[in-house]
Amino acid sequence: MSKEAAVNFINKIRSKVDLLYIDPSENIAFGESDNTAIKTIFPSERADYIVCNSIEELDNFISKYSKKVDINYSNTSSGEGDTKDSNKFSKRKQIGIYKKVNSNKDIEEIKTISEKGANFVIIEVNDWKIIPLENVIAILQKTDTQIFALAKSVKEVETLFTVLELGVDGIIIETEDEEEIQKIKNILQDIFFNITSAKILEIKDIGTGERVCIDTVSMLVEGEGMLVGNKSNFLFLVHNESVGSSFTSPRPFRVNAGAVHCYTITPDGTTKYLSELESGSQVLIVNSKGLTRIVSVGRSKIETRPLRLFKAVCENEIGSIIVQNAETIRFLDKNEQTLPVTHARIGDEILVFSNKSSGRHFGMEVSDEYILEK
């Protein structure tokens, strides 16, 4: 990549990354008046995050930068010294080391590296990835040493951030593809929904039809469910089946979500019909506060059942949902208590996500398109 191409690429991705693995002496990521320059990580003393190649080198740098120091980089070729061409700054350096993990001996060395005061360690693993990282995370979880893992693809990123439910602190990936970086950002960003209450306007039994039961691979807790609805901009919080009864056992991994045509939002921000979900699909699990987590589908069951229509209003928006008519399907009321659809009444207030209406094209939002859904 040419210097000009590198500058253009960095300008495009600078809001999407925290660190750039680049030699600071190249001076392509920084401008004199650039207050948003990306911090660099590199085997160079000029980098913000200095990557050491040996424990001895690590010891030397930790000793040198154990206190906050002033560093003056001058343009020595100009002979002007401390001028506008100089980059003078005062900051604490982050010192770490690159380590390839092939055995338990390497993991023990990482423990020693942390004890010596390393701020971070860059981990590279080959065929065996999960077990070595689990061991490293277990050893370093109560230390101040951050774990950065090398990722070879976007697919590896989510796994690396969920190992032992703690995950690594960061990933380093080599790419020249802006779309790949955006995909990674989408995976890592915290997705939040403004959950509010809506008043039920209408309840109607509509006969039989097919509904979709989503069995996830995760144990859901009380207060969690999926956002589902007939309109993509008005989604009802359908609770999971963690609440049992004298007739049914709890199935906390399950959300009896709704009729086959209903929408739900996926982690990449697009919508899918419930009928499209299958084993391996990813869904967003949302709680009553609007916080989310990404969960995979283990099994999707489509079966014929009696269905019930609900219409509700939130401010000026009216939305609806069709669900199975059974005691085990529940909404959450305005007090965040479960409300079986068989017990819901007109005038009850339930939790929803409501937004301004917009069009959808193959699940992607089209913000300026006029659309009327009834």
Label residue 362 by pLDDT band (50, 70, 90).
very low
Mean pLDDT of 22-46: 71
CATH 2.170.16 in the chain, residues?
Answer: 195-366
Q: What was the pLDDT predicted at 174?
A: 85
At 217-253, the pLDDT tens digits run 999 999 999 999 999 999 999 999 999 777 889 999 9
In the predicted structure, residue 370 carries a pLDDT above the cut 80: no
Say if residues 286 and 226 touch (Cβ distance below 8 Å): yes
Closest residue by Cα to residue 265 from 240, 287, 235, 245: 235
Is the model's pTM score more than 0.85?
no
At 261-282, the pLDDT tens digits run 999 998 888 899 999 999 999 9
Protein fold of 3-188:
TIM Barrel (3.20.20)
Label residue 56 by pLDDT band (50, 70, 90).
very high
| CATH number among 2.60.40, 2.40.10, 2.170.16, 1.10.20, domain 195-366 | 2.170.16
At 174-228, the pLDDT tens digits run 888 888 887 777 777 667 899 999 999 999 999 999 999 999 999 999 999 999 9
Half-sphere exposure in the Cβ direction for 122 (13 Å, CA): 21
Burial of 182 (0-12, 13-18, 19+ CB in 10 A): middle
In the predicted structure, residue 82 carries a pLDDT above the cut 50: no
Structure tokens at 257: 């979500």
CATH 3.20.20.70 in the chain, residues?
Answer: 3-188
Q: List the beta strands (DSSP E) in 92-194.
A: 94-101, 120-125, 146-151, 170-173
Q: What was the pLDDT predicted at 49?
A: 94
